[in-house]
Structure 1
Amino acid sequence: MYQLPNTHFELDLKNINEKLAQANASQIVSWAKAEFGSHLVLSTSFGIQSAVMLHLVTQVVPDIPVIWIDTGYLPKETYLFAEELTNKLNLNLKVYQSHLTPARMEAIYGKLWEKKDVESLNLYDRIRKVEPMQRALKELSAKAWLAGLRQNQTQFRKQLGYVNQQGEQYKILPILRWNSRDVYEYLKEYNLPYHPYFDQGYVTVGDWHSSRPLSVDDDHERDTRFHGLKQECGLHLPTSKEEAQSLDSSQL
Structure 2
Amino acid sequence: MPRNDLTDRVTALNARYRHHSGTAVLAHALADPEAGRLALVSSFGAESVVLLHMVAVTRPETPVIFLETGMLFAETLVYQQEVAERLGLRDLRIIRPDAQDLARTDPEQTLHRRDTDACCALRKTRPLLRALQGFDGWITGRKRYQSGTRAALDFFEIEDGTGRIKVNPLAHWAREDVQTYMEENRLPRHPLVDRGYPSIGCMPCTTPVRADEDPRAGRWRDHDKTECGIHIVDGRVIPKGVSA
The TM tier, using the shorter chain, reads 0.7 to 0.9
1:35 is displaced (CA, Å) by 1.9
1:145 is paired with a residue whose SS is: strand
| Aligned equivalents of 2:145, 2:56: Cα separation in 1 | 24
Normalized against structure 1, the TM-score is what?
Answer: 0.83
Equivalent residue runs for 1:59-138 within 5 Å: 59-91=57-89, 92-100=91-99, 105-107=105-107, 111-115=110-114, 120-138=115-133
C-alpha separation in 2, matches of 1:78 and 1:51: 12
Change (3 A) 1:104 1:81: farther
Q: CA deviation at 1:131?
A: 0.3
Shift of 1:183: 0.2
Q: 2:180: which partner in 1? A: 185
Q: CA deviation at 1:223?
A: 1.6
Q: Does 1:226 find its partner at 2:226?
A: no
Q: Please say if residues 10 and 165 of structure 2, whose CA atoms lie closer than 8 Å, have aligned partners that are also in contact.
A: no
How many Å separate the matches in 2 of 1:12 and 1:135? 24
Q: What count of residue pairs does the alignment treat as equivalent?
A: 228
Residue identity matched to 1:67: I
Superposition deviation, residue 77 in structure 1 = 0.5
In structure 2, how many angstroms separate the alpha carbons of the residues matched to 1:71 and 1:164? 26
C-alpha contact (below 8 Å) 2:36/2:137 kept by paired residues: no
- Give the deviation of 1:104 after TM superposition: 5.4
1:57 CA drift (Å) = 1.8
TM-fit CA distance, 1:157: 1.8
Q: Distance in 2 between matches of 1:45 and 1:202?
A: 14
Question: Is 1:34 aligned with 2:31?
Answer: yes
Can you give the 5+ residue segments of structure 2 that lack an aligned partner in the other structure?
A: none
CA contact (8 A) 1:48 1:203 kept: yes
Deviation at 1:224, TM superposition (A): 0.4
TM-score normalized with structure 2 length: 0.85
| Amino acid in the other structure paired with 2:92 | L
RMSD: 2.4
**Kept after mapping to 2: 8 A contact 1:222/1:228:** no
What's the offset of the Cα at 1:239? Answer: 3.5
Give the AA of the match of 2:21.
N
| Larger helix share, 1 or 2 | 1
Matches of 2:103 and 2:190, distance apart in 1: 27
- 1:38 shift after superposition: 7.4
**5+ residue gaps, structure 1:** 1-8, 248-252
What is the distance in 2 between the residues matched to 1:47 and 1:24? 22
Q: For 1:121-156, what per-residue CA distance to the aligned partner results, in whole angstroms no more than 9, with x for missing partners?
A: 111111000000000000xx1102111100111233
Distance 1:239 1:155, change over 3 A: farther
Q: Does structure 2 retain, via aligned residues, the 8 Å contact 1:26–1:57? A: no
CA contact (8 A) 2:207 2:219 kept: yes
